[in-house]
Chains A and B, each alone.
Chain A
Amino acid sequence: MLVAVFWSAWSIRLSPARFVEGLSSTGQFLASMWPPDFGARERELIREGVTETLAMAVVATIIGVSVSVPVAFMAAKNLAPWPVYYLARGLITVSRAFHSLIIGIIFVVAVGFGPFAGALTLSFATVGFYGKILAEDLENIDMNQLRPIEAAGGNRLQVILYGVVPQALPRMIGLAIYRWDINVRSSTIIGIVGAGGIGFTLLNAFDRYQYDFAAAILIVIVAIVLAGEVASAMIRRRVR
């Protein structure tokens, strides 16, 4: 492991000199960020970015969860036949392996710039997360509760609706809220590839050297991510 670390350090050419040089400009950088610029025009831009970001997170959670639930059922070993199982697992793996920014680039090519591409990106990312965790929960349900429904002549859909769903429902709701919180977090950066939201505003501010405006945006991002986290934790405690 040590060899790996040293070799990495050598190949990237980490040097104390560069570090010191960077640190010396840090002071200047921080000074140009202060005070954060919350002017009237800036506030308007931030408001637009934040609404877009939050809207993307909401829509992505709704679309993502509605797609994820069937995928999760398909990816539960005890409920799905094996070809379906491997298909769903493959989808989940692909969705989890790629960072949302990479998926974002693809969707921007597909549906054009703007928050809709972002919402699709986050929906796709939701499938990997939600599908995986829900599938694991479904694999751990009590199968004995399914038998009476089968014995009473329930068909497959009825077995799932009355045997499986009641066991998994609280978890499904809690997980959806948790994912919304993660979607808020990701939707703050998705704008970097042109998929809408406050990330785009932030990148623009940095590109135009408006560091004081960038500082204002950063403060807002930290605030909404924290607020989302607190809200999600509170709601989840109630659901349980």
Chain B
Amino acid sequence: MFEPTADDYERWQRHDVRTRLLRFATVLITVPIVVYSWRILGINYDYLSTAGWAVGDLLGRMYPPNHGYTGEIVGPMIETINIAILGTGLSALLSIPIAYLAASNTTPNRITYVIGRLVITVTRTVSTIIWAIMFVILFGPGAFAGVIAVAIRSIGFIGKLLSEAIEEIDPGQVRALEAAGANDRQQLIYGVAPQVKPLFVGITTHRWDINIRSSTVLGLVGAGGIGLELTARMDVYQWQSVSVILLAILVTVLLSELISAKARSAVS
């Protein structure tokens, strides 16, 4: 009588050969990269062993927060919020023409399209803090440099999302205006703008919320806001004041996130 052995059955595998090979290759490539990266970091294991203690010690020094100091940071905190508001507002104004150039359906010609895209890419890939370093050199230290830095960085963000919104509009509405004899400018104002307006408001509010967060660190490079106070307190080891600042930042950021979420759900 015939007795089937294990070889007579095809072994069941969850994935086909191609998938398995691909996964194997992925692991083969990833693991050396990770190991190599880890070695580049040149970790000093003596420091690592005391890291827990150091963080604990730091938190111990921060507690209890120095309540008396709270009054002094109201000014810098308001300045931080103002930088975010102004920077975002300025950026919203600048983003509109850029987005118009960078949307393939509204841009006048090939060259303007490339210019629009280039502005968006460059402003977007350089972070706010690097822009701030440069504007501090140009305009001198202070909140002014911070506002410009926030504004320039945000062009990339708002402009990119806005140009994508413009590309996705319903062309029928614009064509109807064209058929009724509207010129290019009228087509933009009455055909394109109303369709992207809610999105534009939403994007700008969202960016404002992100900008509050980035404005908290502008002071590290001298561009105004609460960051300046933070580094000043750290330099003189007033950790109990530092914890007050950190708490204030936490509250402000959470509030702005709440406001931005409320505003965005209201417009959409």
Q: A residues within 8 Å of B by Cβ?
A: 4-5, 7-9, 11-14, 18-19, 21-22, 25-26, 29, 51-52, 54-56, 58-59, 62, 93-94, 97-99, 101-102, 105-106, 109-112, 114-116, 119, 185-186, 188-189, 192-193, 196, 199, 202-203, 206, 218, 221-222, 225-226
Are B250 and A97 closer than 8 Å at their CB atoms?
A: yes
In the complex, which of the residues B133, B224, B234 contacts A206, with contact meaning CB atoms closer than 8 Å? B133
Are A218 and B86 closer than 8 Å at their CB atoms?
A: no
Distance of A39 from chain B, by nearest CB (Å): 21
Q: How many residues of B contact A (CB 8 A)?
A: 56
Distance of A191 from chain B, by nearest CB (Å): 11
Are B122 and A109 closer than 8 Å at their CB atoms?
A: no
In the complex, which of the residues A13, A115, A218 contacts B41, with contact meaning CB atoms closer than 8 Å? A115
Contact sample, A vs B, 6 pairs, CB 8 Å cutoff: A52-B40, A99-B217, A111-B47, A192-B221, A193-B220, A222-B121
Distance of A128 from chain B, by nearest CB (Å): 11
Distance between Cα atoms of A98 and B217 in the complex (Å): 9
B28-46: which residues lie under 8 A (CB-CB) from chain A? 33-34, 36-38, 40-44
Known interface pairs A5-B85, A58-B33, A192-B220; A29-B41 also in contact (CB < 8 Å): no
Distance between Cα atoms of A222 and B131 in the complex (Å): 13
- Extra 8 A-B pairs, beta carbons < 8 Å, given A55-B36, A119-B41: A58-B33, A99-B217, A101-B220, A102-B217, A102-B246, A185-B127, A188-B127, A202-B130
Are A109 and B139 closer than 8 Å at their CB atoms?
A: no
Are A206 and B137 closer than 8 Å at their CB atoms?
A: yes
Tell me, yes or no, whether B141 is within 8 Å of chain A by CB: no
In the complex, which of the residues B42, B54, B85, B144 contacts A13, with contact meaning CB atoms closer than 8 Å? B144
For B250, the chain A residues whose CB sits under 8 A away are 94, 97-98
Are B217 and A116 closer than 8 Å at their CB atoms?
A: no
Distance between Cα atoms of A8 and B211 in the complex (Å): 15
Q: B residues within 8 Å of A by Cβ?
A: 33-34, 36-38, 40-44, 47-48, 51, 54-55, 58, 78-79, 81-83, 85-86, 89, 121-122, 125-127, 129-130, 133-135, 137-140, 143-144, 147-148, 213-214, 216-217, 220-221, 224, 230, 234, 246, 249-250, 253-254
Distance between Cα atoms of A7 and B78 in the complex (Å): 11
Q: Can you name the residue of chain A whose Cβ is closest to the Cβ of B143? A: A12
Q: Can you name the residue of chain A whose Cβ is closest to the Cβ of B43? A: A116
For B54, the chain A residues whose CB sits under 8 A away are 109-111
Known interface pairs A52-B40, A112-B47; A11-B130 also in contact (CB < 8 Å): no
Are B220 and A222 closer than 8 Å at their CB atoms?
A: no
In the complex, which of the residues A8, A59, A94, A188 contacts B82, with contact meaning CB atoms closer than 8 Å? A8
Q: Can you name the residue of chain B whose Cβ is closest to the Cβ of A173? A: B26
Distance of A190 from chain B, by nearest CB (Å): 10
Distance of A32 from chain B, by nearest CB (Å): 10
Main DSSP-derived SS at the B contact region: helix
Known interface pairs A22-B139, A189-B130, A193-B220; A51-B58 also in contact (CB < 8 Å): no
Pick the 4 closest A-B CB pairs, nearest first: A8-B82, A55-B37, A55-B40, A22-B139
Q: Can you name the residue of chain B whose Cβ is closest to the Cβ of A93? A: B254
Known interface pairs A110-B54, A185-B127; A11-B42 also in contact (CB < 8 Å): no
For A14, the chain B residues whose CB sits under 8 A away are 86, 144, 147
Are A55 and B217 closer than 8 Å at their CB atoms?
A: no
Are B89 and A5 closer than 8 Å at their CB atoms?
A: yes
Known interface pairs A12-B86, A110-B51; A98-B249 also in contact (CB < 8 Å): yes
Known interface pairs A12-B86, A12-B143; A222-B125 also in contact (CB < 8 Å): yes
Are B230 and A116 closer than 8 Å at their CB atoms?
A: no
In the complex, which of the residues B51, B82, B134 contacts A111, with contact meaning CB atoms closer than 8 Å? B51
Are A102 and B230 closer than 8 Å at their CB atoms?
A: yes
For B230, the chain A residues whose CB sits under 8 A away are 102, 105
Are A11 and B221 closer than 8 Å at their CB atoms?
A: no
For B86, the chain A residues whose CB sits under 8 A away are 5, 8-9, 12, 14
Distance between Cα atoms of A26 and B134 in the complex (Å): 10
For A188, the chain B residues whose CB sits under 8 A away are 127, 130
